[in-house]
Amino acid sequence: MDKNRTRIVVTGAAGRMGTRILSLASADSRFHIMAGVEMPSHEAVGRFTDDGKAPIVGDIREVLTKTEVVIDFTAPEAVLKTASIVAKGRRGLVVGTTGLKTQGVAQLKALSRKIPIVFSPNMSVGMNVLFRLVEQAVKAMAGSDIEIIEAHHNLKKDAPSGSAMRLADIAAASSRRSPKDFVYGREGLVGARTKKEIGILAVRAGDIVGDHTVLISHAGERLELTHRAHSRDALAAGALEAARWVAGKRPGFYSMFDVLNI
């Protein structure tokens, strides 16, 4: 086996993100797909990935010893179970799963004392550049009104998106505000906007892959910073870069900022 190729296992292998990660990895000579993982009852279990080279299994423990890095785009409950198993196996982990609550993130941080974990609510390169730009813009335009608008496809289960909440957290930290200042949509006679509010609006329609806009406004002008994902390949490619980067790293809780060195 080529030691220069990163050996990966992808959970949620039959899902929208899992299939794109596997497709990109199969065409990239830097990676060796060891297996895909799905729920034991899933119809894909027992089959092979689209390139016909890697099995899809119902239990990650069947293939964990063969891999270096596990990539997870599943659901909050599933990823925490997977992370615990991966930590026992001392493998690297890339988590792009969204919807994790504070307690779930804390569990991942605790496991990162044993293994290297890259965690990001959005793994596209452009989105992580937006995270940095928002941080700088909010500091430069002190005292501005801040609004965040995100749009996704009509099948997305969590709202607001993990990326929108990450943008809100960054904006709050950069403007001396807190999550107590977040306002989720508005309805009725809500009164004048308070200076500390960070408005967050979630749109669900059609097959939108993912749009995020941060509006920063004060007297006489406004700045709008927008990222639009044209396909899920942007996130899949970022996840693969994270897997390549985290292989062999020391235990720790990393972000895409570490992967991209920004």
Helices (H), the chain: 16-26, 76-89, 102-111, 125-140, 162-174, 233-246, 256-260
Same domain (yes/no): 62, 95 = yes
Choosing from 32, 88, 101, 152, the catalytic residue is: 152
Same domain (yes/no): 191, 245 = no
Residue 85 lies in a domain: yes
For residues 168 and 116, the answer to whether their CB atoms sit within 8 Å is no
Same domain (yes/no): 193, 177 = yes
15: tokens are 């899902």
Residue 79 lies in a domain: yes
Q: Please tell me the pTM assigned to this model.
A: 0.88
For residues 150 and 203, the answer to whether their CB atoms sit within 8 Å is yes
C-alpha pair distances (Å), 107 with each of 52, 61, 98, 186: 35, 20, 14, 33
Residue 152 a catalytic site member: yes
Same domain (yes/no): 113, 187 = no
Residue 92 lies in a domain: yes
For residues 60 and 66, the answer to whether their CB atoms sit within 8 Å is no
Residue 1 lies in a domain: no
Residue 41 lies in a domain: yes
For residues 91 and 69, the answer to whether their CB atoms sit within 8 Å is yes
Q: What is the pLDDT of residue 1?
A: 59
Residues of the chain where predicted confidence (pLDDT) is lower than 70? 1
Indicate the number of domains in the chain.
2
Same domain (yes/no): 23, 43 = yes
Same domain (yes/no): 142, 91 = no
Same domain (yes/no): 149, 129 = yes
Same domain (yes/no): 33, 95 = yes
Summarize pLDDT for 41-55 with one digit per residue, the tens.
Answer: 999 999 999 888 899
Choosing from 42, 156, 196, 249, the catalytic residue is: 156
Rounded Cα gap, residues 165 and 229, in angstroms: 17
Strand bridging mode 145-152 / 210-218:
antiparallel
Same domain (yes/no): 146, 16 = no
Residue 145 lies in a domain: yes
Same domain (yes/no): 149, 210 = yes
Residue 194 lies in a domain: yes
Segments forming the whole domain that contains residue 219: 125-229
Whichever domain contains 244, its CATH number is 3.40.50.720
Same domain (yes/no): 13, 99 = yes
Q: What is the pLDDT of residue 98?
A: 85
Same domain (yes/no): 139, 206 = yes
Whichever domain contains 196, its CATH number is 3.30.360.10
Residue 156 a catalytic site member: yes
